[in-house]
Amino acid sequence: MSASRLQKAGRGFSWRSVLAALGPPLSVILFLLAAWEGLVRWRQIPEYILPGPLRIATALVESWHTLYPSLLFTLAVTGEALLAAVVLGGGLAVLLAQSRWIERSFFPLAVVLQVTPIVAIAPLLLIWIHDIRLALVICAGIVAFFPVVANTTLGLNSADHHLLDLLKLYGASRWQTFRRVRLPSALPYFLGGLRISGGLALIGAVVAEFVAGSGGTETGLAYRILEAGYTLEIPRMFAALALLSAAGVVIWSALSGLSWLLLRRWHESAIGRVEG
Amino acid sequence: MTALSGLDLDVRPGEWLSLLGPSGCGKSTALRLIAGLARPTAGTVERHLPGPHEIGFVFQEPTLMPWATVEGNIALPLQILKAPRAEIRSRVASLIERVGLAGFERARPRELSGGMKMRVSIARALATTPRLLLLDEPFAARDEITRARLNEELLALWQAQGFTVVFVTHSVWESVYLSTRIAIFSDRPGRVVGEVAVPVTASREPEFRESPEYLATCRRVSAKLAEAMA
């Protein structure tokens, strides 16, 4: 088999495979929504207890002018938190990978930050930081930070030892070793961490806003949910919730797509995705 | 744990020296000492080579960078030594040609067979035109047919280029077929218990393997190996 043919097999893309991948979950979701709508209508459940999907869709359209800016706000907070987590977490991982001694000294601190519930830290941060938006970004960033650090550190230390020997043989500098072997070895691990962090950043942004009780001058989706709860506008509450879920799914898919793009030529995880 | 003890070994320019011994006898450690990848706890390793680019190393596994193309993998040592770009390109192209991988320049390791990966590994080791090529049971994990072919190819490269080879193996047949000299290692802690010179007049054609001197040499090596393990 020629090289080019083999490469094409690894990068195969067809609408059939997309349909095969999306068909089953979409069918399940549609079925559940239909069952939900049917149940609500059949049992005549009042909308302040459980609105049907169609009612929620109407509420979404009606409240779009308030929900949409809130969605953008929450996404902005999530995005900034994720960016901070990648920059700082990636940087810390590089530092930790320099020596076992540094790793042993600093890694436990990262663990402490990870295991302390963000709901418990958020009130403190909100007292210290007057800019509420900044406090939200920091809260979400703390939650998103750990998977990046842990995975990237693991990846940087997982480089093939024989390859490292080879670089030593040619007298490679620390920087050359890092750039040529450690960094590419860490990439799949980092991307795995990033996918988890994306979802966690969104959760962090929402939890922090719940604790803050407001998004400052702007308002995020979490506050829209609280607000709708206070006034018993349950369909609007569900609409905000649906937007949050959709945002989470989009973030996950975008990061998975990024991971696939970067790894499709060589890493087993990305290759299995197409063939499986 | 002591891997080697009382090891005394000379490597002569241009020879193909095989280190033969049972598994775990410290042959690989000896190779790592020669390469400078490990330091002896006692004793010295003398290297009469001007620089780091004078040694090539081939591991038991191909040990390629999975993210890099065949070209990229072979170029690695030259990039580390900061060779000029144009020189890297022409050198890599000629190496690919020489190990018979033309047409696979842009392929990734996962798209190659085990034997092809090993060829990339050999080409990489030869990238800096080393004077000394160290091979640590390079084809032990390959199937018999691939192994025989790779041995042939390596032999041809050695004959054409005149570098020195130190080859770790645990196959008597392979060592006699390939080497000019065989150093036999005892069990742990390893040391050289015997040396057998393979008649240099013998042409390294496949017919050599059916010749009486080949069989006689194999018998001598096997006897020494049995002595070493007793």
**Of the candidates B161, B93, B90, the residue with the CA atom closest to the CA atom of residue B131:** B161
pTM here? Answer: 0.85
Is residue B134 a contact partner of residue B34, using CB atoms and an 8 Å limit?
Answer: yes
- Stretch (H or E) spanning B49: none
What pLDDT is stored for residue A79 in this prediction?
96
Q: Which of A4, A266, A271, A274 to mutate to test the interface with B (most CBs of B within 10 A)?
A: A266
Distance from CA of A22 to the nearest CA of B (A): 28
What pLDDT is stored for residue A18 in this prediction?
81
What pLDDT is stored for residue A1 in this prediction?
40
Residues 6+ apart with CB under 8 A from A117: none
Q: What is the overall mean pLDDT for chain B? A: 87
**Of the candidates A185, A173, A270, the residue with the CA atom closest to the CA atom of residue B68:** A185
Q: What are the chain B neighbours of A169 within 8 Å (beta carbons)?
A: 35-37, 52, 55, 57
Is residue B166 a contact partner of residue B17, using CB atoms and an 8 Å limit?
Answer: yes
Where residue B201 falls among pLDDT bands split at 50, 70, 90? low
Bond into B189 cis (ω within 30): yes
What pLDDT is stored for residue B26 in this prediction?
81
Q: Do A266 and B67 touch (CB under 8 A)?
A: yes
What pLDDT is stored for residue A12 in this prediction?
54
Among left, alpha and beta (phi > 0; psi -120 to 50; other), residue B63 is left
Its ipTM equals 0.88
Residues 6+ apart with CB under 8 A from B37: A165, A168, A169, B57
Residues 6+ apart with CB under 8 A from A207: A118, A119, A122, A139, A143, A222
What pLDDT is stored for residue A23 in this prediction?
87
Q: Which two tokens stand for residue B9?
A: 């070994």
Q: Is B61 on the interface with A (CB under 8 A)?
A: yes
Q: What is the pLDDT of residues B122-172, one digit of tens each?
A: 999 999 999 999 999 888 878 888 888 888 889 888 988 889 999 999 888
Burial-class residue A49 by CB neighbours within 10 Å (0-12, 13-18, 19+).
Answer: exposed
What pLDDT is stored for residue A11 in this prediction?
47
Q: What is the pLDDT of residues B77-120, one digit of tens each?
A: 999 999 999 999 999 999 999 899 999 999 999 999 989 999 99
Residue spans of chain A under pLDDT 50: 1-11, 273-276
